[in-house]
Structure 1
Amino acid sequence: MLFTPALKPATLVQRYKRFLADVVTPEGETLTLHCPNTGAMTGCATPGDTVWYSTSSNIKRKYPHTWEITQTAAGDYICVNTLRANQLVKEAITLDLIPELCGYNSLKSEVKYGAENSRIDFMLQAEDRPECYIEVKSVTLAERDNGYFPDAVTLRGQKHLRELISVAAAGKRAVLLFAVLHSAIGRFSPARHIDLKYAQLLNEAQKQGVEVLAYKAELSADNMTLRSALPVTL
C-alpha cells in the first residue's frame, strides 16, 4: 500500500477527545488532526513523537488531515489508523501473500452473519471448499517485542469470537487474523492482563476450530505491506 500523495511529518503535541490530536509541522504551524483510532493507543501517542499524516481532498471535512503513522523516539513505526488493517489484509489476500488464505476466487467485504447481528470483515468463497469467514483485528500494543490485543476491554471483540465459534461449528472456516501494525513486535499473544475474558474466549475459540493467525506489516512513511507471519502464543 503506497501512500499517495505522500504523508507529511509533524511533532505530536497531544491527543484528546479520542478522535483529535494537535501537532506542530516543521514550519511551526499547529494543526488539528483526525485520529481514526478509538483504542487506548498505549505507547502510540507520546508527545514529542513524529506523526505522519495524510490530507483529504474533501473540502467538506472539518479536519482534513488524518493521523496515519507514529514514529517513536526509538525509531519504531506504528500504524494508528485502524481502517488500514482491513485494507492491508484485503491487499495481501488479493496478492496471495497469506498462504493460509490462497485458493479462493471470490472476496466479499462486510457480510452480515451470525446470531448477534454482526458483519464479517471478509468472506472468501470457492466452488471446491467451504466458505471462509475472516475477522481482522489491528495490533499496536507492544511490550518489548511482544504484541498484544486488545489494548482495552472489548465486549465487541468477545462478541466476534462467539460468532466465529458458531461459524466453525457449522462446518465453515473461521479465521481470526491479527494484523500487527507495529515494527517492534516479533510475536503475538492475547492481552490477558487487560481483558482476561477475551483471552480465555480466544483460547476456547481455537479449541473449537477457529484458526488464529498473526501477520506483521512492513511499515514506513512511504508504504505498508502485510507479509510476515508471526508466532502466536495463547
Structure 2
Amino acid sequence: MDYPKLVPGVLLRRYKRFLSDVRLKDGREVVAHCPNTGSMRAVNVPGCRVWLAASTDPRRKLAWTWELIELPQPDGTTAMASVHTGRANRIVEEALGKGRVKELADYAELRREARVEQPAGETPSRLDFRLDDPVLGPAYVEVKQVTLKEPDGHGYFPDAVSERGRKHLEVLAELAAQGQRAVLLFCVAHEAIDAVAPAAHLDPAYAATLRRVARQGVEVLAYRCAVRRVNGVPVTIQLDQALPVSLEREMIDFSQRSM
C-alpha cells in the first residue's frame, strides 16, 4: 500500500479517542485525527516521532490524520508501527491479491465484507474477506491488527477487552464446523514484533476462545508489515514476513508498558 505524502511531527497527546495533538517540524501544533478506537496500549507514547497525512478536502473537520509512530527499542533503534487500524484490511487485501500470504495464495476471487448467515432470528455476521476458487471452494478470513509489543518481545492481541473480537472467533468456529475454511489473520503492524500470542493478561476470555476455536479447526496466521522509507520518509507498507503464533503461551503479568 502506498502512503500519501507524509509529514513528520512529535506526538504531544492523544485524547477523546479520536484526537491527537502533534507538533510539526516548523513548530506548529496541529490537531490530527486518530483513526484507532482501541486502547493503543504501547503505541500512544508522547514524545515519539509520528507521521501524518494531510488532506485538502474542505468537508473534513481535521486536515491531518495520524498514520505511523516510531518507537524506541532496547537496542537503541526505532521501529515503525501503524496506528491506523483502517489500513489493515487494505494491506491484507493487497497481499492476498499478490499471493504474499502463501497459505491463501491459490484462490481465484476475493470479496470484501463477506456475509455469514446466522440461525433464524439472528442478525447475519460479516467477516472481512471471502476467497473463492472452483477447486478449493470458499475461505473466510477475519483480519485483526496487532501493535501491542510487551516486554517479552511478543506481540499480543487484543490490547483491551474485545467482545466483538471474541464474537468473530465464534463465527469462524461455526464455519469450520460446517466444513468451511475459516482463517484468523493477524496483521502485525509493528516492525519489532517477532511472534504473536493471545493477550490472556488483558482479555482472558478472548484468549481462551481463540485456543478453543483453533482446536475446532480455525486456522490462525500472523504476518508482519514492513515499512519502506525513501530518504527517511515512509512511502509504502506491506505484509512481508510470516510470524509464529504461540496460542498456548501462559498468562504473564506485565508491570511495565513496552514499546
Q: Kindly state the Cα deviation for residue 57 of structure 1 after the two structures are TM-superposed.
A: 3.2
1:176 and 1:211 in contact (8 A); partners too: yes
Secondary structure at 1:153 match in 2: coil
| CA distance in structure 2 between the partners assigned to 1:166 and 1:149 by the alignment | 21
Q: Which residue of 2 aligns with 1:79?
A: 82
Amino acid of the residue matched to residue 107 of structure 1? L
- Spell out the pairing of 1:115-154 with structure 2 (5 A cutoff): 115=118, 117-144=124-151, 145-154=153-162
| CA distance in structure 2 between the partners assigned to 1:73 and 1:102 by the alignment | 34
Amino acid of the residue matched to residue 97 of structure 1? R
Distance 1:172 1:208, change over 3 A: same
Q: Kindly state the Cα deviation for residue 117 of structure 1 after the two structures are TM-superposed.
A: 2.7
Q: Kindly state the Cα deviation for residue 163 of structure 1 after the two structures are TM-superposed.
A: 0.3
- Spell out the pairing of 1:25-104 with structure 2 (5 A cutoff): 25-74=24-73, 75-104=78-107
| CA distance in structure 1 between the partners assigned to 2:21 and 2:128 by the alignment | 31
Secondary structure at 1:177 match in 2: strand
| CA distance in structure 2 between the partners assigned to 1:98 and 1:31 by the alignment | 38
| CA distance in structure 1 between the partners assigned to 2:55 and 2:170 by the alignment | 37
- Counting matched residue pairs gives 233
Q: Which residue of 1 aligns with 2:174?
A: 166
Which of 55-64 and 151-160 deviates more?
55-64
| CA distance in structure 2 between the partners assigned to 1:19 and 1:117 by the alignment | 29
Q: Kindly state the Cα deviation for residue 177 of structure 1 after the two structures are TM-superposed.
A: 0.1
- Report % sequence identity: 44
| CA distance in structure 2 between the partners assigned to 1:57 and 1:126 by the alignment | 41
Which of 20-29 and 106-115 deviates more?
106-115
Amino acid of the residue matched to residue 126 of structure 1? D
Q: Does 1:112 align with 2:125?
A: no
Secondary structure at 2:138 match in 1: strand
- Which sections of structure 1, spanning at least 5 residues, go unmatched? none
Amino acid of the residue matched to residue 237 of structure 2? M
| CA distance in structure 1 between the partners assigned to 2:49 and 2:235 by the alignment | 14
| CA distance in structure 1 between the partners assigned to 2:110 and 2:193 by the alignment | 29
Match of 2:190 among 175, 182, 189: 182
Amino acid of the residue matched to residue 107 of structure 2? Y
Root-mean-square deviation (CA), in Å? 1.1
Secondary structure at 1:222 match in 2: strand
- TM-score between both structures, scaled by the size of structure 1: 0.97
| CA distance in structure 2 between the partners assigned to 1:52 and 1:136 by the alignment | 24
Secondary structure at 2:137 match in 1: strand
1:58 and 1:64 in contact (8 A); partners too: yes
2:8 and 2:52 in contact (8 A); partners too: yes
Q: Kindly state the Cα deviation for residue 105 of structure 1 after the two structures are TM-superposed.
A: 1.0
1:181 and 1:219 in contact (8 A); partners too: no
1:85 and 1:136 in contact (8 A); partners too: yes
2:114 and 2:140 in contact (8 A); partners too: no
Q: Kindly state the Cα deviation for residue 134 of structure 1 after the two structures are TM-superposed.
A: 0.1
| CA distance in structure 2 between the partners assigned to 1:152 and 1:114 by the alignment | 28
